[in-house]
Amino acid sequence: MIVAIDGPSGTGKSSTSKAVASQLGLSYLDTGAQYRAMTWWMITNGVDVNDPAAVATAAAKPVLVSGTDPAGPTITVDGADAAVPIRTQEVTSRVSAVSAVPEVRTLVTELQRSIAAAAVGGIVVEGRDIGTTVLPDADLKIFLTASPEARAARRSGELTGKEAVDVAVTRAALVTRDAADAGRKTSPLAKAADAVEVDTTDLTLQQVIACVVTLVEEKR
Ligand code: C5P
């Protein structure tokens, strides 16, 4: 059972995907974390993320490893735990530039396919291009959406301390990132023709999880 869950940021993809995987005994892969980890490595190694040629050349160097337990997913880069540093505003604001580079996508897509193929019993894979490009033969494809206001409010609620910013700033950043992700040439953020669209604007997280669990069970 391979479940692809795509959609823009702030739609509840990660929370939903982890919960669905846990409830159904499936593995879980956060592909956004892999692009973030690649971006973090580029920043810490002095690669100019706005120079696609430099990013393309450097892309094969870092070794990314993703742990797929939905109760505690992990991500390491060259053996270093990247879970915390990949969530900074600096990485968030630069990840779209890195993920738009075709050489980066080719490498990360191959890694994602090998992880999905090795997942015993099945996997929930979340991202932007899983249903369209990475796993076009997935058993079930879901495309989560929500209004920009709802997405910004959720994202603001997740940020704390010095990273906390107001909802308007978060909304602007989300819209900019989505436009970059949806507008890039190589496998942009898009709904697959055969994906089920779920608008989460007026749904609680529990309702979204229940909806997706039902859709998976119908396919089993
Ligand atoms: O899901 P998350 O917000 O962590 O994703 C971070 C970024 O990674 C996205 O904004 C996008 O640029 C990139 N991404 C992608 N393809 C995916 C998953 C994420 O390009 N399948």
- Residue 109 in this model has a pLDDT that exceeds 90: yes
pLDDT tens digits for 35-73?
999 999 999 999 999 999 999 999 999 999 999 999 999
- Domain range for 90 is 2-219
**Helices 102-118 and 31-44 meet at what angle, rounded to 10?**
130
- CATH number, domain containing residue 120: 3.40.50.300
- Residue 158 in this model has a pLDDT that exceeds 90: no
Which of 86, 87, 92, 99 gets mutated to test ligand 1 (max ligand atoms within 8 A of its CB)? 99
Which of 6, 89, 181, 187 gets mutated to test ligand 1 (max ligand atoms within 8 A of its CB)? 181
Contact 76, 62 (CB under 8 A): no
C-alpha to C-alpha distance for 127 and 9, rounded to whole angstroms = 9
Residue range 157-181: mean pLDDT, rounded: 80
Strands 123-127 and 80-81: unpaired
Q: 128 CB less than 6 Å from ligand 1?
A: yes
pLDDT tens digits for 114-156?
999 999 999 999 999 999 999 999 999 999 999 999 999 888 8
Does the model's ipTM exceed the 0.95 cut? Answer: yes
Helical segments of the chain, H only: 13-24, 31-44, 52-58, 89-99, 102-118, 148-158, 167-183, 205-219
Nearest CA to ligand 1 atom 4: 32
Q: 178 CB less than 6 Å from ligand 1?
A: no
Instruction: Report the domain count for the chain.
Output: 1
Tokens of 54: 């430099």
Non-local (6+) Cβ contacts of 127 within 8 A are 4, 5, 6, 13, 30, 31, 32, 112, 134
C-alpha to C-alpha distance for 220 and 204, rounded to whole angstroms = 25
